[in-house]
Amino acid sequence: MGEPGIRIRHYRDDDWNAIARIHDAARLDELRHSAGVAAFLTLAETAEGEGLFDGQVWIAETDDGVAGFVALDDDEVTWLYVDPHRYRQGIGRALLRHALAAAGPRVEVTVLDGNPAALQLYLSEGFTITETRTGSLVGNESFAATGHIMHRTGAGG
């Protein structure tokens, strides 16, 4: 499933270095206009505590290698990151649609305020904002952040 040239497959242990590199680069973009880059922690510092592997993890791969990853746990998209050099190439959408196809009829995601590209992706795939909440940043609780809790109800993508 996915866009032409994008293959989605299950995570393997040898993907760790690639997803850590992707997360660490993309997370800085995610934080830049929300909690601030001072809140940045690496994937190695947060994966276990934030439950990266609590559910299913899939990899987006192209001829150039690993391009992104998504995690789904109990019908919640908990992680979705794309290599910043590969933004706006359909990779995030392909990953999201793959996760939606595996999810139940109601799916949740939280998007940080200040991340308009992610917000637009989820809105364009049928999610709606059901609540906006300000509190501690998940994974680095010493920083405050505002998040939009979004839900999608209906058939998988």
The H or E element containing residue 12 is: none
Torsion angle of C-alpha atoms 8, 1, 99, 26, degrees rounded to 10: 50
Write down the pLDDT at residue 157: 44
Percentage of the chain exceeding pLDDT 90: 94
How many degrees, rounded to 5, is the angle at CA 87 between CA 84 and CA 91?
115
pLDDT digits (tens, 9 = 90+) for 21-58: 999 999 999 999 999 999 999 999 999 999 999 999 99
Rg (CA), the chain: 15
Write down the pLDDT at residue 9: 98
Domains with residue ranges and CATH for the chain? 7-153 (3.40.630.30)
Write down the pLDDT at residue 139: 86
